[in-house]
Structure 1
Amino acid sequence: MQDTPKGSRLHIAIFGRRNAGKSSLINALTNQDIALVSDVPGTTTDPVYKAMEILPIGPVMIIDTAGIDDVGDLGTLRVERTMQVLHKADLAIIVVEPESGVTEYEHSLISAMRKRNLPVVCVLNKTDLYPVDEKQVETWKQALDIAILPISARTGAGIEELKGLIIRNAPDDWEGPPIIGDLINPGDMVVLVVPIDLAAPKGRLILPQVQTIRDLLDNDACAVVVKERELKEVLENMAGPPRMVVTDSQEFMKVSADTPPGVLLTSFSILFARHKGDLETLVAGAKAVDHLKAGDKVLISEGCTHHRQADDIGRVKIPRWLRQTVGDELSFEWTAGSTFPENLQQYKLIVHCGACMLNRREMLYRLAVAREAGVPIVNYGLLIAKVHGILQRALKPFPLAQLILEDK
């Protein structure tokens, strides 16, 4: 459970006014004293993340947030950060204190959640101090028009029932499409090309590679892992052609040359474009490369922060390839981690990483912001295939995406 990546967990965010008992609820759900609890309003100042497991959902990420009624200049910033959590939450829990009841804060919060089609449940906390009857619960339920459950985070009353409510309200599609499982059949052979270079973590594979291997095994397929230099020899020595070759995007050219035309070829980054986001939107973004011109501003956005290599993919290689494609100078800006600007109109193209450290909800939010701004967005793998002239082949496993690419 502890080893499950953050981006592969159902994100459950807890919202409410200051001192409603949000942190106490986190402690009750996890059965640990992990969140600081105090009678002083505003104890939680920034979103706090805690990994746990709720069966039968499995590993989840619980997010504690600052009070939505925080005040002052710092309080306003805290509320802004709280509202940003909506972009990555798969399910929300609103905590209400029965003594003060439902206010405009809760109504405004629920309205924002409904605009995002975010599943939401409500708990009436501190019922050990302020008992409520069925009539009061029904009144609040009608006022908010959502499921409401009386609980006491301090005594544990209603916590097991809340876990059941979370399970029933969790969205069925939060994980997105399979990484590769629906593209292969049991018994198929898939060759994974994994370069071992300066960017490869010592003694480990990177997350998308590991997750692809696991998805192949879960679907009863066979994974053969090779470095790019050994691919041609391995393919020649196989009794028959593999179902597919999946490569690190940076080795697309060599791998494409060594892979027979009849064998499907794609990249880890393209697989994750579909798994974590919307492949068709990102393919449309790849086509926008043809319309870039000198001086255009390009945003390169990564979902994590990592140690930069001398020939870093986002800072060095992609800008170089885009300059070569355009034949002139471009203007580049970069963001990393949770930072993603909402004002995107200044950019002619957004180039995003594979999003292995983001959950699907946050990646879909970023795609939606780009669409609303009218700015094309593409991910690393699709862009690399595009600038090297092999995108059509790399999309052969995805017929709908191929149609978008071919559409004039």
Structure 2
Amino acid sequence: MTEYRPTPKSFRLHIGIFGRRNAGKSALLNMLTRQQVSIVSDVAGTTTDPVEKPMEMLPLGPVLFIDTAGVDDEGALGAMRVKKTRQVLDRTDLALLVVDSDRWGVFEEQLLAEFHQRRIPVIVVFNKVDVARPDATLLAQLDQQKIPYVFTAAIRHEGLESLRQALIQNAPEDFINSPPLIADLVQSGQIVVLVVPIDKEAPKGRLIQPQVLTLRELLDHGALAMVCRDSELARALESLKEPPVLVVTDSQAFAQVARVTPPHVKMTSFSILLARQKGDLNEFVRGALAIDRLRPGDHVLVAESCSHHPIADDIGREKIPRWLQERVGGKLHFTTVQGHDFPEDLSPYRLLVHCGACMWNRREVLTRMELCRRAGVPICNYGVTIAYTLGILDRALEPFPEAQRVYRELTRSAPVAT
């Protein structure tokens, strides 16, 4: 029996549903999904935490709807709910601003300004139009600002088709044309060797997400993929009649794979592939050079996009901290965050090391990179960090000429670490 593998969240268009309490956000989600996903009640504030619903929405394909608590929630608990709602903004590709048709005011204007600042496309959904209609002057203003809007009566399932059409018309181009993971690095018929260590962190009976995504993209583009463990890499390379165009390894095996892979064969890691696809590889390379500016006693933030139970010699909690401290020559203080949790104040940290974010969409990674830029905190991802601490980053960037050029320029101009 073939195991069903759902589309990862990272490949779904993230559609956030925002608005006041009791504007009909949950009813709208239930209408869109044709399921009772969220509890609907006349009591304001029924939705307390973001509710996620993945689905296939043709012709867009896989999407993820996120129903949020009202941004006008009150009190201490309400403030916590609003904070959770604002975290959803970090990963929203397309926003739905749900409005009671006759209740447009300062909350809606503030949300529109927030969407505009973050460059998030938005569709205004005037809900409950069976009870009241929006003011004609307001509609004229939205038309002038070229902000799309639709009319719905979600509780009665009215307006669904016009909303679906608006979603299709306003889906961001960077979702439709998402960056490739590996397909642009190889041609049909060329050989790529994927090095997959089988250790404590390898899930029993399956591959981890970055390996699956890379293998699938190679197959989709007609490339030939050879998969082996790090301990069998030398034999695998010897068995090939012609050398591979690329070797991709798990970052934890970087040092061994670099020793075994011939100098004329390009080499990189799954995590560095993700660094390019999910974020800005050049910026991660710049962040790597900040490692040599660390001093014993500095604070480093480690961010993991998924929640998992740490195991012995965990990559983010033990291996990377150990390699960084060996490079720095003293003890560093590490703080780890998981999932969508993220400090509001980044000022205590001298470096942020982020995982590959294989389960996230690109917008959330770019949002975190922007937060780091504003705070003046360098950011690097796992694969780039590991390659730099091992002294092989230049080689690991060979498949990416622009990033390698950035690295070489920076290292030529950087002062010698003392």
Q: TM-score, normalised by structure 2?
A: 0.94
TM superposition shift of 1:131: 5.0
State the partner residue of 2:374: 372
Deviation (angstroms), 1:128: 2.2
The 5 Å alignment of 1:25-174 reads 25-100=28-103, 102-131=104-133, 135=136, 138-139=139-140, 141-142=142-143, 145-174=146-175
Shift of 1:145: 4.9
Residues 19 and 99 in structure 2, CA contact (< 8 A), matched pair in contact too: yes
Give the conservation status (yes or no) of the 8 Å contact 1:132–1:150. Answer: no
Q: In the TM superposition, what whole-angstrom CA distance separates every residue of 1:43-86 from its partner, at most 9, and x where no partner exists?
A: 01111111111111111110001111111221122122212211
* 1:298 corresponds to 2:272: no
Residue 302 of structure 1 and its aligned partner are, at CA, apart by 0.8
- Deviation, structure 1 residue 164: 1.2
Q: Pick from 212, 215, 223 the counterpart of residue 213 of structure 1.
A: 215
1:34 is displaced (CA, Å) by: 1.1
Q: Which amino acid aligns with 2:377?
A: V
Tell me what 1:398 maps to: 400
- Count of residues in Structure 1 that have an aligned counterpart in Structure 2: 406
Please give the secondary structure, in 2, of the residue aligned with 1:199. coil
Partners of 2:46 and 2:302 in 1: how far apart? 35
SS in 2 for 1:28: helix
The corresponding residue for 1:17 is 20
Residues 143 and 75 of structure 1: is their aligned pair in 2 closer, same or farther, counting only changes over 3 Å?
Answer: farther
Aligned to 1:384: 386
Rounded to whole Å, the distance in 2 between the matches of 1:116 and 1:93 is: 14
- Residue in structure 2 matched with residue 250 of structure 1 by the alignment: 252
CA distance in 2, matches of 1:130, 1:349: 52
> Separation in 2 of the partners of 1:381 and 1:214?
20
Aligned partners of 2:346 and 2:375 also within 8 Å: yes
Deviation at 1:138, TM superposition (A): 3.0
Q: Which contiguous aligned blocks of 4+ residues in structure 1 show a shift greater than 6 angstroms? A: none
Match in the other structure for 1:223: 225
CA distance in 2, matches of 1:150, 1:326: 59
3-state secondary structure, aligned to 1:350: strand
Letter of the 1:99 counterpart: D
Q: Which moved more, 1:302-311 or 1:207-216?
A: 302-311
1:176 and 1:276 in contact (8 A); partners too = no
- 2:323 maps to 321
For each residue in 1:306-333, what CA deviation from the matched residue of structure 2 results, as whole angstroms up to 9, or x when unmatched? 1211111111111111111111121211
Task: Give the C-alpha shift of residue 169 in structure 1.
Answer: 0.6
Correspondence 1:335 to 2:332 = no
Aligned to 2:284: 282
Amino acid at match of 2:393: L
Distance in 1 (CA, whole Å) between partners of 2:217 and 2:5 is 19
Question: Structure 1: 5+ residue runs without aligned partners?
Answer: none
Structure 2 residue identity aligned to 1:112: E
Q: Deviations over 1:336-379 (max 9, x none)?
A: 11111131121111111111122211111111111111111111
Residues 2 and 325 from structure 1, CA distance in 2 versus in 1: closer, same or farther, beyond 3 angstroms?
Answer: closer
Q: Which residue of 2 aligns with 1:204?
A: 206
Gaps in structure 2 of 5+ consecutive residues: 414-418
Counterpart residue type for residue 172 of structure 1:
E
Secondary structure of 2:156's match?
A: coil
The one-letter amino acid of 2:88's match is V
Deviations 1:183-222 (A, max 9, x none): 1111111110001111100001000000011111121111
Question: 2:226 is matched by which residue type in structure 1?
Answer: V
Equivalent pair of 2:102/2:134 in contact (CA under 8 Å)? no
Residue pair 1:15, 1:22 contacting (<8 A) in 2 also = yes
Question: Counterpart of 2:266 in structure 1: which amino acid?
Answer: L
Distance in 1 between residues matched to 2:355 and 2:124, nearest whole Å: 35
Query: Following TM superposition, by how much is the alpha carbon of 1:182 offset from its aligned partner in structure 2, in angstroms?
Result: 0.8
Report how far residue 144 of structure 1 moved. 6.6
CA distance in 2, matches of 1:153, 1:342: 35
TM value normalised by structure 1: 0.96
Q: 1:172 to 1:144 in 2, by over 3 A?
A: closer
Identity of paired residues, percent? 53
Once the two structures are TM-superposed, the CA of residue 98 in structure 1 deviates from its matched residue by: 1.4
Partners of 2:30 and 2:69 lie apart in 1 by 16
Aligned residue number for residue 313 of structure 2: 311
